[in-house]
């Protein structure tokens, strides 16, 4: 593995952990403020002013934030263990849900909408969860850097009749194809490591597509 790929892998870990700690900090900050406001309300209660419904609202807010933080920690745990199994059974719905939650902050600063489409019936295949995650993260990074603020990135997941798993990610863009391809060395390497391949094309006018194709089973 060359140094560039290794750096990108470590950057990915750093990116995910930084985002998760950021979100946990937000949960803690909200719980901190809710508790503080409850304390203020108890002081007011001593002066004969007490609104139980407002107090209950704050308790509910804290329960919600504790659940949120717990979900975030669960995702971090899921992500951390993704590297343990080079060939894990991947289920499309839960993979997409976790993946979106973990990488949504790539598109958020530019207010880019991520529209996901996948078969109604969940699909299962055997692959590298970490490799797949990293592949989609790198693709989203490329597309986000090319998109204008407020645009949409579409992600379509399909299984071909041959059994291959296909992720197609598109955005509106007209940059020269060769320029995009020059910057995808790590992506190519990571996808090939999983027995897959990357194709970059313009299937329609002004639409740039990254097609990531993976085998149904990884050795």
Residues that bind other proteins (CB under 8 A): 21-26, 28-34, 36-37, 40, 58, 61, 65, 105, 108-111, 149
Closer to other proteins at the Cβ: 65 or 194?
A: 65
Q: How far apart are CA 1 and CA 8, in angstroms?
A: 11
Q: How far apart are CA 168 and CA 158, in angstroms?
A: 8
Tell me how far, at minimum, the Cβ of 67 lies from other proteins, in Å: 13
Closer to other proteins at the Cβ: 72 or 143?
A: 72
Closer to other proteins at the Cβ: 34 or 128?
A: 34
Closer to other proteins at the Cβ: 37 or 123?
A: 37
Tell me how far, at minimum, the Cβ of 146 lies from other proteins, in Å: 18
Read off φ and ψ for residue 163, nearest 5 degrees.
Answer: 100, -10
Residue 35 has, within 13 A of its CA and on its CB side, a CA count of 9
Tell me how far, at minimum, the Cβ of 118 lies from other proteins, in Å: 25
Cβ atoms of 54 and 93 within 8 Å: the answer is no
Closer to other proteins at the Cβ: 40 or 97?
A: 40
Closer to other proteins at the Cβ: 26 or 207?
A: 26
Tell me how far, at minimum, the Cβ of 47 lies from other proteins, in Å: 12
Tell me how far, at minimum, the Cβ of 158 lies from other proteins, in Å: 30
Tell me how far, at minimum, the Cβ of 85 lies from other proteins, in Å: 31
């Amino acid at each position: 593995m060359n140094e560039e790929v290794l750096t990108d892998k470590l950057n990915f870990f750093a990116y995910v952990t930084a985002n998760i700690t950021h979100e946990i900090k937000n949960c803690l900050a909200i719980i901190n403020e809710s508790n503080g406001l409850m304390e203020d309300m108890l002081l007011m209660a001593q002066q004969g002013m007490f609104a139980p419904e407002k107090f209950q609202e704050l308790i509910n807010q804290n329960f919600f934030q504790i659940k949120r933080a717990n979900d975030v920690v669960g995702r971090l745990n899921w992500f951390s263990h993704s590297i343990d199994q080079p060939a894990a059974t991947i289920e499309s719905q839960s993979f997409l849900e976790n993946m979106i939650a973990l990488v949504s902050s790539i598109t958020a600063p530019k207010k880019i909408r991520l529209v996901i489409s996948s078969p109604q019936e969940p699909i299962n295949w055997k692959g590298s969860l970490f490799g797949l995650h990293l592949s989609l993260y790198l693709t989203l990074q490329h597309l986000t850097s090319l998109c204008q603020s407020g645009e949409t990135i579409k992600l379509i997941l399909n299984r071909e009749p041959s059994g291959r798993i296909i992720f197609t990610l598109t955005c509106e863009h007209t940059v020269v194809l060769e320029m995009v391809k020059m910057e995808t060395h790590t992506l190519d390497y990571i996808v090939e490591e999983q027995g897959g391949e990357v194709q970059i094309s313009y299937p329609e006018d002004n639409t740039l597509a990254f097609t990531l194709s993976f085998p149904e089973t990884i050795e």
